[in-house]
Structure 1
């Protein structure tokens, strides 16, 4: 399975070369076969007899970190959505993006993002999952900011990165605590130890950190603010991010860890409350928008909230409905984003106030939009898949278990009403989208260009997705036992058998809730212009975006002042800060962990020669403080270096002594050449506080290094590795000089890279000097 993740990354390296021929053949034609190949590889696992399996690839076994890929029903669902809709998005982009665009950049980012999402849903190791998780943030940042000449694109990309990275780091803290509590980094092994986790004192922290990562990625209230700004990305990116990938990553995380946390009452309270609040707020705010993609962005927020709430409920019907709606949402939301892109592409605008009556000019696009919006609205028609999962959602809200405290009991009582409220506005924004664009008065004079139907190639992808809407609606159980049941079982941690039916009778409370939604929603749609002034009251002038902008502005101001306070151009100050930090952090850490160990029993005998050499070195070191001659200071430092070399000779390390002699000689010579062009050292008048701080830092740092050296010699925390080198030096390196074999053979690549870095630094220094000389000559 690792190849299905790595192949998109590896082939992405060749996309820039392929894109050179984009004027002859669109780059997307070649890229299309990458996600399609992944889809074909995994589609073969769909079936009634599917059994989960795991592949392990060694990575860092000493830390218990291996690349463990686990394929079960849940990961299979997401893999097929990522690769299947990814194929359709690439196909759609061939007709959406002109060959004059930077196609090489676009498809490299897209394949990197797809590989990252595949890694997220397939990873069984929490730290591998985190690695791919952050790669999704980085690659989505690049995709959202693809049109970097647009200020709003840059703003949206930065916003999404900051919010999702913040959540990702929190999630990482939760993963660390989970690994500490369970002693494993495997998610499946953690699930097997759920009792240990639930009894741990770290449980509230673990839950909080993990949920923070999921909520930020899946745009749950109040972290939803990044999602509408991400609409500045090209429409193929929006369709991909919102239907099958990035925003679903948080849902996947909650679903994957549901077997661990579902018995914890605060998991139900937090996840259900956040989800139902996000559903209501997202659907309410969607009706306020005038940009087609903004309407769909807030609709995505509301749909994500609904799925999140169902995962929080944790009942069998709720989990099945959540999994079912993940599939349904991918079909109708992907098609609707593509429809919005077609409208923008063929009319030149996404402003719904300038649109209307487009059904005459774009009948095929209007038909696709009809099925997509009505399915999203949950209209009770048997050929719309959205209705089935929406009614299952209503049914789940009516069969919640009583909570263990008053907060949970209150949620159980109010959730059905909030579900109806959010669904009413879902109905309103769905019909607002369709009728506002395709019916009503034509406003051709407001359009940048005359509308016409999209090319057939641009219609293929949304047609496929709408066919999915219809076929799942007509044959819902065709994807149940072979597909959805496995996914729901992985979340519920038990077999889930839930047949899907269209008609449950007039006395079905879920169906009655659907009728209420349709009835009240129709009234609100018909009277929208009468009541939409309510938005001036709620949210009115309140805005989470303003709060975000305020925080970022204050953060930039504070950071600027802080940086200015220490970036003074003084090397002495920089060194003081660095040394003081090392002294403080290392000293405190070693003290707290009992790292100081002083054992003088194994020391060699000290003779008069060693004492004389050390005294000479100490005197030379102190003399550098008082001398005002560059040459004298360099020579005194050389005395210290040569003194160390002599100590190496005395303690029978001739190789080290020779190396130290050579390095010290070269260093002294270079220093003399450089300092020849600099003025002599001068006495500086400093305050008593500066002198005191310098004295304390230098003395403290010197003492710390002394104690660290003695402690490392006195301690026996790890077995010695010298025996290995002594034993293997001849057989592996063909030499008896162990030091040389280590440098040349056993860590030859390190030495090569060190030489390379030094060579690059030398070239850079030479270039700077050459540039300075040339400027001086001019």
Structure 2
């Protein structure tokens, strides 16, 4: 389908266009041109909403590397539609916000190129129907997010956060790739749809648990789940538009998408349920608790994002039970959790995106995000306060905001866990709603911190303060998201009918989504409402007594944090690698040759021995004439003479004799061109040896280390023995016809009668072409260094 491929390819084309033609464009803010890309893509996807809602799907295949069954397969269904609309819709608002947030004095070309690369990569992830294609785009999201996080590369924190995010997410991606290869091994296909159809085969395979573990490792690292959540707070060093886009609406949702997409394959399995739901629940609780101790507003929002992602992950874990064979697919009780997860996915993108933008405005206007230095901004920034109030109260799960609806569904799903009669869940069933409720209290507390500690209380004037509303253009994006927060609360079923239910249908094709019913904001005085009231009451108490929480945080000192554990691992790896490197990187060529020869002896000699590969026969060997025996004997004697010689001059001359003797072999074997080449090379090298000998210090053979001589002798004999055995084995174990037969009709194939010339013409040309490419690349490097060298560097070169 043209829409899918355009959605993936267009951002990359736009990035290349900007790089080639708009690098020095200064007439107006380049963001206005970039704004057209997500706007067009959102419009194209929105046109297909009604079609996808009716159950129709779209697919497209382009043969990429057909010999390896690697094709450009794309697929649009309800699940990919919901993510596509989020990526492009939030992308519109982020680009609009960045136009006012970033000045033209900054490197806007780099910013928007990175942003477009990330947008295209994320769209590639959600629309890919090929495992390897998905993996390529998956890692491209890590690379492009690395560039975005390090946009302000002058800052040490930006560089550190970018490297941390890249390291953790890429390692998770490698684990996911292994799982994909295992799935291909089992199903003999890379198509995700075909893998879903073969889910029964996968579930009965012995590799099922390793596959699930590796897939979840990729999902958990990308979506910042416990204990891999540590990269997300450091990624907040990026500019606010990047934080709003990557870490509230898109990149961190990639892991959520992966879990949702593979739920039809692994749903109903015990390991999948426990891993997804428990890790999600732990992430929800731990991040909510950690958010309270933050003093930086962006760090607070980072941990709140982690917590909300844990909530969504928990719902997908609980919802996966609907695919258990003992549970009827028609049961709404279990599928409702998946519906709630998708609903909160959208809600979180709206209120968290708005909050990030408002925090960015506060930092932009006031010059600080430290909550201890803020307060009293309500009088100066009423519009920002209103949006922050809407976003924070929605995040806390209060009406009349969309977060209240999905949070009530979350409570319902946690209470329904007690109804499960599988996987021995009854023993911990009560922990699900309890942990969810306590985490919701902490969520309420940090939501109130954003509102009351920032906008109420006394105004603390700063030396560089500019406490007023920013330009309306900067407020337009968060205002739009704030309006969606309210509108979704009052009109949730419009979203449910056209977006949510088709997505649920994509995950559970056999389920009748119409049985889910309508979303209502009032269900009477039920248990979920009582839990919400409890959250508010206890949340107010905890908020008022939050200073006493410091005593609780003492139980979790920062020295025992996962950040420190991460640093400990890196430091250990760094020190160990340095010791290993210092061991073999001695700076002496003889040591490097020793290591290389020992490696070949162990590897090749061990292969001959353990594989019983040695094969020697003289049946097809030709007769060796006496002169050839004599010539070979003189070479052996000359080699031993070099070892025993006490003069460098003697060693050089004898070494030259060996080269000339080898040339005689070429003459005997009727290869005059090789003999002439050998004679010329040996003459030149011998002359060069003698020239170098003139400048070397005097050599006292009596004082040379005998141990080194013995070691070298042993290595030399071992290498010679191993390669002799390999040569004899190869000569005696010919499995295929000699390649020389192919060249016998060289005149017919190439038009040349000389076989050597035709070989050089056919194959040496490729070698020459590659050498020319290497020289061309080296030339580009030299040109770049010369063109961009600094004046100071140029002066040093001249000096």
- Tell me whether the two structures share a fold, i.e. TM-score over 0.5: yes
1:458 is paired with a residue whose SS is helix
Decide whether aligned partners of structure 1 residues 710 and 391 sit closer, same or farther in structure 2, where only a CA change above 3 A counts. farther
Paired with 2:744 and 2:484, the residues of 1 have a C-alpha distance of 66
Look up the match of 1:554: 572
Q: Is the 8 A contact 1:69 1:124 kept in 2?
A: yes
Look up the match of 2:588: 570
Corresponding residue to 2:484 among 461, 468, 474: 468
Task: Determine whether 1:414 maps to 2:419.
Answer: no
Decide whether aligned partners of structure 1 residues 776 and 377 sit closer, same or farther in structure 2, where only a CA change above 3 A counts. closer
Paired with 2:713 and 2:433, the residues of 1 have a C-alpha distance of 69
Task: Determine whether 1:429 maps to 2:446.
Answer: yes
Look up the match of 2:379: 360
Decide whether aligned partners of structure 1 residues 197 and 455 sit closer, same or farther in structure 2, where only a CA change above 3 A counts. same
Decide whether aligned partners of structure 1 residues 685 and 499 sit closer, same or farther in structure 2, where only a CA change above 3 A counts. farther
Aligned counterparts, 1:44-59, within 5 A: 44-47=47-50, 48-59=53-64
Corresponding residue to 1:482 among 498, 501, 505: 498
Aligned counterparts, 1:102-121, within 5 A: 102-121=107-126
Paired with 1:723 and 1:41, the residues of 2 have a C-alpha distance of 60
Look up the match of 2:307: 302
Task: Determine whether 1:513 maps to 2:531.
Answer: yes
Look up the match of 1:542: 560
Paired with 1:415 and 1:717, the residues of 2 have a C-alpha distance of 65
Paired with 2:196 and 2:738, the residues of 1 have a C-alpha distance of 38
Decide whether aligned partners of structure 1 residues 203 and 192 sit closer, same or farther in structure 2, where only a CA change above 3 A counts. same
Paired with 2:77 and 2:667, the residues of 1 have a C-alpha distance of 65
Aligned counterparts, 1:608-687, within 5 A: 608=625, 628-629=648-649, 631-632=652-653, 635=656, 638-639=659-660, 642=663, 658=673, 662=677, 665=680, 669=684, 672-673=687-688, 676-677=691-692, 679=695
1:54 is paired with a residue whose SS is strand
1:184 is paired with a residue whose SS is coil
Paired with 1:254 and 1:426, the residues of 2 have a C-alpha distance of 24
Look up the match of 1:388: 405
Paired with 1:120 and 1:214, the residues of 2 have a C-alpha distance of 12
Look up the match of 1:259: 264
Q: How much does 1:340 deviate?
A: 0.8
Decide whether aligned partners of structure 1 residues 337 and 566 sit closer, same or farther in structure 2, where only a CA change above 3 A counts. same
Q: How much does 1:350 deviate?
A: 0.6
Task: Determine whether 1:178 maps to 2:199.
Answer: no
Q: How much does 1:390 deviate?
A: 1.4
Task: Determine whether 1:154 maps to 2:159.
Answer: yes
Worse-superposed segment, 635-644 or 195-204: 635-644
1:258 is paired with a residue whose SS is helix
Paired with 2:91 and 2:797, the residues of 1 have a C-alpha distance of 57
Paired with 1:80 and 1:720, the residues of 2 have a C-alpha distance of 61
Q: 1:25-61 CA deviation, whole Å, 9 max, x = no partner? A: 2222222223333333333322223433332333333
Q: Is the 8 A contact 1:597 1:714 kept in 2?
A: no
Decide whether aligned partners of structure 1 residues 663 and 520 sit closer, same or farther in structure 2, where only a CA change above 3 A counts. farther
Look up the match of 1:333: 352
Q: Is the 8 A contact 2:149 2:161 kept in 1?
A: yes
Worse-superposed segment, 711-720 or 85-94: 711-720
Look up the match of 1:15: 18
Look up the match of 1:581: 599
Corresponding residue to 2:469 among 453, 456, 465: 453
Q: Is the 8 A contact 1:71 1:122 kept in 2?
A: yes
Q: How much does 1:295 deviate?
A: 0.8
Q: Is the 8 A contact 2:131 2:190 kept in 1?
A: yes
Q: Is the 8 A contact 2:236 2:298 kept in 1?
A: yes
Decide whether aligned partners of structure 1 residues 758 and 416 sit closer, same or farther in structure 2, where only a CA change above 3 A counts. same
Worse-superposed segment, 333-342 or 733-742: 733-742
Question: Alignment RMSD, CA only?
Answer: 3.8
Aligned counterparts, 1:164-175, within 5 A: 164-175=169-180
Q: 1:271-312 CA deviation, whole Å, 9 max, x = no partner? A: 111100000011111111111100100000101111111111
Look up the match of 2:329: none
Corresponding residue to 1:187 among 185, 192, 199: 192
Look up the match of 1:527: 545
Q: Is the 8 A contact 1:395 1:510 kept in 2?
A: yes
Q: How much does 1:338 deviate?
A: 0.9
2:371 is paired with a residue whose SS is coil
Look up the match of 1:397: 414
Worse-superposed segment, 619-628 or 162-171: 619-628
Paired with 1:217 and 1:470, the residues of 2 have a C-alpha distance of 30
Paired with 2:358 and 2:399, the residues of 1 have a C-alpha distance of 23
Q: 1:227-257 CA deviation, whole Å, 9 max, x = no partner? A: 1111111111111111222211221222222
Task: Determine whether 1:755 maps to 2:772.
Answer: yes
Decide whether aligned partners of structure 1 residues 674 and 30 sit closer, same or farther in structure 2, where only a CA change above 3 A counts. farther
Q: How much does 1:543 deviate?
A: 1.7
Decide whether aligned partners of structure 1 residues 562 and 506 sit closer, same or farther in structure 2, where only a CA change above 3 A counts. same
Q: Is the 8 A contact 2:405 2:521 kept in 1?
A: no
**Residue ranges of structure 1 left out of the alignment (5+ in a row):** 766-774
Look up the match of 2:789: none
Decide whether aligned partners of structure 1 residues 754 and 509 sit closer, same or farther in structure 2, where only a CA change above 3 A counts. same
Paired with 1:254 and 1:718, the residues of 2 have a C-alpha distance of 49
Q: How much does 1:196 deviate?
A: 2.6
1:379 is paired with a residue whose SS is coil
Decide whether aligned partners of structure 1 residues 702 and 116 sit closer, same or farther in structure 2, where only a CA change above 3 A counts. farther
Paired with 2:481 and 2:378, the residues of 1 have a C-alpha distance of 20
Normalising by structure 1, we get a TM-score of 0.87
Paired with 2:427 and 2:117, the residues of 1 have a C-alpha distance of 44
2:560 is paired with a residue whose SS is coil
Q: How much does 1:690 deviate?
A: 5.1
Paired with 1:465 and 1:539, the residues of 2 have a C-alpha distance of 37
Aligned counterparts, 1:708-747, within 5 A: none
Decide whether aligned partners of structure 1 residues 396 and 601 sit closer, same or farther in structure 2, where only a CA change above 3 A counts. farther
Q: How much does 1:379 deviate?
A: 0.7
2:373 is paired with a residue whose SS is coil
Decide whether aligned partners of structure 1 residues 20 and 53 sit closer, same or farther in structure 2, where only a CA change above 3 A counts. closer
Worse-superposed segment, 572-581 or 232-241: 572-581
Q: Is the 8 A contact 2:152 2:238 kept in 1?
A: yes
Q: How much does 1:757 deviate?
A: 2.6
Larger Rg over CA atoms:
2
Paired with 1:574 and 1:563, the residues of 2 have a C-alpha distance of 12
Corresponding residue to 2:511 among 492, 495, 509: 495
Normalising by structure 2, we get a TM-score of 0.84
Look up the match of 1:375: 394
Paired with 2:686 and 2:139, the residues of 1 have a C-alpha distance of 45
Paired with 1:273 and 1:568, the residues of 2 have a C-alpha distance of 50
Paired with 2:21 and 2:96, the residues of 1 have a C-alpha distance of 17
Paired with 1:162 and 1:661, the residues of 2 have a C-alpha distance of 55
Q: How much does 1:348 deviate?
A: 0.7
Q: 1:95-140 CA deviation, whole Å, 9 max, x = no partner? A: 1111121222222222222222222222233233222222222222
Worse-superposed segment, 292-301 or 311-320: 311-320
Worse-superposed segment, 215-224 or 341-350: 215-224
Paired with 2:737 and 2:378, the residues of 1 have a C-alpha distance of 77
Paired with 2:193 and 2:150, the residues of 1 have a C-alpha distance of 36
2:59 is paired with a residue whose SS is strand
Q: Is the 8 A contact 2:607 2:613 kept in 1?
A: no
Q: 1:520-541 CA deviation, whole Å, 9 max, x = no partner? A: 2233233333545432334565
Look up the match of 2:330: none
Q: 1:684-728 CA deviation, whole Å, 9 max, x = no partner? A: 977676556545554555555555566667778899999999999
Decide whether aligned partners of structure 1 residues 161 and 540 sit closer, same or farther in structure 2, where only a CA change above 3 A counts. closer
Q: How much does 1:570 deviate?
A: 1.0
Q: Is the 8 A contact 1:742 1:748 kept in 2?
A: no
